[in-house]
Amino acid sequence: MISFEEADTEEKITCLHMTFYHPSQKDQTMFSCLNFCRREQVRADEVAKFGRDSNVCHYNLMDTRVSRIQFSLQFYRKLNSSEFCFEIKNMSKKTKLMVDHTELGYLNKIDLPWKCIICFGDYQILAETQEGASVDYFEIYLHLSEVPILQECLSSLQPVPETGISSPFFPSQGKSPTEIDENEPWYTGEGGWSGF
């Protein structure tokens, strides 16, 4: 029997939390093949692929508007560093991929920020990286959001005006715009941010 002192140290595994939202998720089955609220261990040398084709992608989206392979995630360690990161690549010829404010065309790739929003079509994904030290594996932990992720992130950034209305930037809600400080970041409503 191996003594406590001789046992291998358990390495903390890097985990990518991905929270999904689609406006039609209650009526359609686009997320029926995803395992929510369960950590999945992936070998460090594997590429995690998201898309419609179950023969190629481990993470399947059951939607004809999604490409066979929509995007991929590659786990890697930065050069001359102990820091681990993910690289995201757009694998769709027909749909642009937005990572925060960066638009990725077909085969474009960037480092995934430690916390960011990924968008394509009507899909919204909040990605958050939890650091680890394992060189052999990483984990992906999928979650489902009941509310739009962009709206949630906006409401946490917006100042609360004196009237108590905390979401003045959505015209569909029928509320008039509230005055804010010109140095505050604000959402333009055209898919972008202003004031940064």
Return the CATH number at 44.
2.60.200.20
Q: Are residues 66 and 106 in the same domain?
A: yes
Phi and psi at 157, nearest 5°, equal -95, -20
Strands 102-104 and 109-111: unpaired
- Determine the pLDDT at residue 93: 96
- Determine the pLDDT at residue 35: 94
The four Cα atoms 89, 92, 93, 97 give a dihedral, to 10 degrees, of: -70
Q: Are residues 57 and 132 in the same domain?
A: yes
Nearest to 134 by CA among 87, 75, 72, 58: 75
Q: Are residues 168 and 88 in the same domain?
A: no
The reply to whether 2 falls in a domain is: no
How many helical (H) and strand (E) elements, i.e. helices and strands, does the chain have?
1, 14
- Determine the pLDDT at residue 45: 95
- Determine the pLDDT at residue 82: 84
- Determine the pLDDT at residue 153: 62
Total tally of structural domains belonging to the chain: 2
Residue after which a domain boundary falls, among 128, 149, 170 = 149
pLDDT in tens, the chain (196 residues): 555 455 455 679 999 999 999 999 998 899 999 999 999 999 999 999 999 999 999 999 999 999 999 999 999 998 988 889 999 999 999 999 999 999 999 999 999 999 999 999 999 999 999 999 999 999 999 999 999 998 766 555 555 444 444 333 333 334 334 444 444 444 444 444 444 3
Note whether 138 and 13 are within 8 A (CB): yes
Q: Are residues 19 and 56 in the same domain?
A: yes
* Range of the structural domain that residue 172 is part of: 158-196
- Annotate 98-145 with DSSP letters as a single string: EETTEEE-TT-EEEPPSEEEEEETTEEEEEEEE----SSEEEEEEEE-
Can you give the pTM of this predicted structure?
0.73
- Determine the straight-line distance between the first and last CA of the chain, rounded to whole angstroms: 59
DSSP state for residue 172 in the 8-state scheme: G
